[in-house]
Structure 1
Amino acid sequence: MLKNKINTNQLIKYSILVYWSIFWFFNILDKLIGGSVFLWVGRDRFAQFQKFFASAGLESPIIADAALVVAAGLEVFAFVFFTGALIHFLKKRQDTSRSWFFIGICFTLITFTIFSIGDHVFGDRFELLEHTLFWFLTLFSWVIFIRLEKNTTNDGDILITKKQLLMASLVSVLLVLCTSISIFSYNENYFHRRTDALPAIPVGENIYKVSFPFLGGSTVFEKSIEKFKNENPTKKINHIYTVPNPLRLKKADGLIFYIITDNKE
């Protein structure tokens, strides 16, 4: 009968390793893609970091880019050690797996600590909440992993049957299917918002306002300017202003800019 059952402790440890490996893999992939493509709604991290550092008076893009490279390096190390821990775990090298997992946890805690400090400096409360929650989740993962390891050889381990595992797998597949359908639906019906030109709304004499959509990037900006020029052939653009930093930082991804024009002679 025991052959038809699976140790729950081992299953949870495996899930923890898989979660953090996938977590850092997608974070690294997001930085490599650097924006939005088909089936991927990401951010331009270089632009985001430059905006954060500029809000603190450090407008040189080299500083922001260097900080992003360091952050990406920490994420790569975390991914490597979590994935290594997973491989050793599958090969039943428990001690080696625990060592690799511990180093991955350390890199993760360092990464989220640095991010949280940056969130304080740049005044991004949403990111601060997110990174703080992940910091505690990382610590919680280590505590659970160690406690489960101590109880692995106990006779009182909770076991689940293969039927229960199959049911859990089916539920997981259904969740993945629902998520996939949602992603495809977004790309089919709403992805155009990431690339389409935006209308310029007049808010005063020769003043026009443009509000970016969620995660809008440089493509939207360039197309919006081109659209404005085509729709207003009698106007010439003198200046383009963004809203003050304190207002802009309260919007996680949005951007508002104003087009100041004059009549062509």
Structure 2
Amino acid sequence: MKQLFLTTILSSFIFFLNAQSIISGVFQASEAEMVYEHGLKWTAFQHKNDSLNQNGYRLYDLETYKGSGDRTFWGIWIKSDLPAVVESVYGWASFVEKKRAMTSDSFLLTKVTAYAVSDKEQYYIGVWVKEDTPHKIWKLDSREGLAQKTEEMARQDFFIRNVEVFSSPNKTLIFLALFHKGKVTTPRNYVYTSDDLKVFKTSVLQRQKSGFRLVDFENFEEKGTRWYLGVFEKGDYETVLLEGQETPDFNGKWEILEEQGLRLMDIELEE
């Protein structure tokens, strides 16, 4: 098993070597077995996901990137016995219907990513695992709305797990906020945004000292300004954020972090 894991990690570095993107990633201390793929068109990505599912891996994180070429998809899979489903749905209303159908079958939405093909046409991709946990997802139009919704949901014992930020061609921002139901004793999760990278990184360190760990990272442009967003949860494990790295630099630092027992768990691509 150890040999399989080492092969997986080494191959993941090869996959990323030829990717020309600005990459950010959140690393966590973990012994989990991971598989990484990048630059696949949707059909190829689906085939890869099906193959990995059959070998005991489920999709943990998903990102999409277009740049100046065709739209491609990047994935992080983790060794897991939980059945998982990945679906791409056209339009928000249809995605909400899909989410409700999956919930009725006791599936938990764990990740959502999205992209716009026009100002009125959007695709939503959800990752579900077989787990009967109450959850909600909200489509919001501002950072302020996200902060307000996070506060509102926390009062109902729903804690933020993941945020997806994407924009339409006319630069309208959309925030997708995923919340999972927690017990009353569950420590509250936080979402934090800043337009100053130095301030954001300082906040990450301060929150670590307070016992909170960065689990989801987003960066996006709003009216010509780059913003940084983080979701934090209670934890005592080691985490590292690599932000805004060109591919060769990201790979080199990734390899060092792997040797230290840190796994890439969340990836962010800058359009």
TM-score of Structure 1 vs Structure 2, range by shorter chain:
under 0.3
Give the TM-score taking structure 2 as reference length.
0.23
Which has the higher Rg, Structure 1 or Structure 2?
A: 1
Larger strand share, 1 or 2: 2
Give the TM-score taking structure 1 as reference length.
0.23
Larger helix share, 1 or 2: 1
Q: Which protein has greater RCO, CA pairs closer than 8 Å, 6+ apart?
A: 2
